[in-house]
Amino acid sequence: MTITILIDNALPLNENNLVAEHGLSLYIKTDNNEILCDTGASGRFLDNAKSIGLDIEKSHFAFISHGHNDHCGGIGNFFEAVTLKNVYMHKDILTEQYYSSRKGAVRNISCNNDALTRHINRIVTIEGSQQIAKDAFAIQCKEEKFTKPYGNRFLTKNNGEKVVFDNFTHELSLCFTTPQGLVIISPCSHCGVINIMEECRKVTGRDKIHAFIGGFHFVEGEKCIDETECFANDITKYYPDTIFYTGHCTCDTAKEILAKRLENIRFFTTGTIIEI
């Protein structure tokens, strides 16, 4: 299994052939499937794929993890560049609008609704957790035993009736069953990393989690150190053997703490290739 980071917030040192942006897009190859997971904030993920030598046209389908435009802003570019292939996403993304107030003024951070409307016949909607391909599950997290990220409090949504705090029912993770154990890809983990891990175990009936790949949504601010330390303690207690790969919405302060606290932590940037 190979996961290529097509676009992330950061570039590796001395990289001149790729571009970065505040967003995330991953290309997943397994023995059974090739899957594009998220499209970043723009069409730049396609430029990087070409530079890396990946043919997105070979993907069996695309998967959108949640309705924020740093993960689905390039959806229109995917529809235009790749013909016939479907896109899986939670049904609420088609009807809700999403907002952030973290940097002061309230900003609309929803997907490109025009692109979704134009290509509605290629969208496969999901509600709840379900198997979507051989050895691959879309997971909607309902577990709330562990703390969710502090940064969620800056995020709201309009559900068609009123603006409310986002409860992230629209967030899905990808979970793969492999001989080594579960491999979870959760691009932003708004529902909380460990909650998502617990839900994946519950849905699949598999106990061992080999790897978790994605952003942790630990943002810079007054709570960052405390929530990262708490997370490290819980991982050490409950999942000491799981390998973690993170970037995108895991801030620099959190990365510094995790690098010191967790033996099995790795950090990705644009162009990183993860072999499982």
Strands, E assignment, the chain: 2-7, 25-29, 34-37, 61-63, 86-90, 97-100, 107-108, 123-126, 130-133, 136-140, 155-158, 163-165, 172-178, 181-185, 209-213, 243-246, 265-267, 273-275
Q: What percent of the chain has pLDDT over 70?
A: 100
pLDDT of residue 252: 97
pLDDT of residue 113: 87
Q: How far apart are CA 189 and CA 205, in angstroms?
A: 21
- Residues 15-70 have pLDDT tens digits of 889 999 999 999 999 999 999 999 999 999 999 999 999 999 999 999 999 999 99
Q: Assess whether pLDDT exceeds 90 at residue 261.
A: yes
If DSSP codes are grouped into helix, strand and coil, which group holds residue 202? helix
pLDDT of residue 84: 92
Name the amino acid, one letter, at 38.
D
- Residues 146-161 have pLDDT tens digits of 999 999 999 999 988 8
- Residues 102-158 have pLDDT tens digits of 878 899 999 988 999 999 999 999 999 999 999 999 999 999 999 999 999 999 999
Q: Assess whether pLDDT exceeds 90 at residue 175.
A: yes
Are the CB atoms for 100 and 158 separated by under 8 Å?
no
pLDDT of residue 188: 98
- Residues 209-233 have pLDDT tens digits of 999 999 999 999 989 999 999 999 9
Place of tokens 């190859």: 29
pLDDT of residue 130: 97
Q: Note the pTM of the prediction, 2 decimals.
A: 0.97
Q: Closest Cα partner for 213 from 247, 179, 180?
A: 247
List, in order of start, the domains of the chain with CATH numbers. Answer: 2-275 (3.60.15.10)
pLDDT band for position 13 (50/70/90)? confident
pLDDT of residue 16: 84
Q: Assess whether pLDDT exceeds 90 at residue 82.
A: yes
Q: How far apart are CA 218 and CA 221, in angstroms?
A: 9
pLDDT band for position 73 (50/70/90)? very high
Question: For the chain, what is the mean pLDDT?
Answer: 96
Are the CB atoms for 10 and 20 separated by under 8 Å?
yes
Q: What percent of the chain has pLDDT over 90?
A: 95
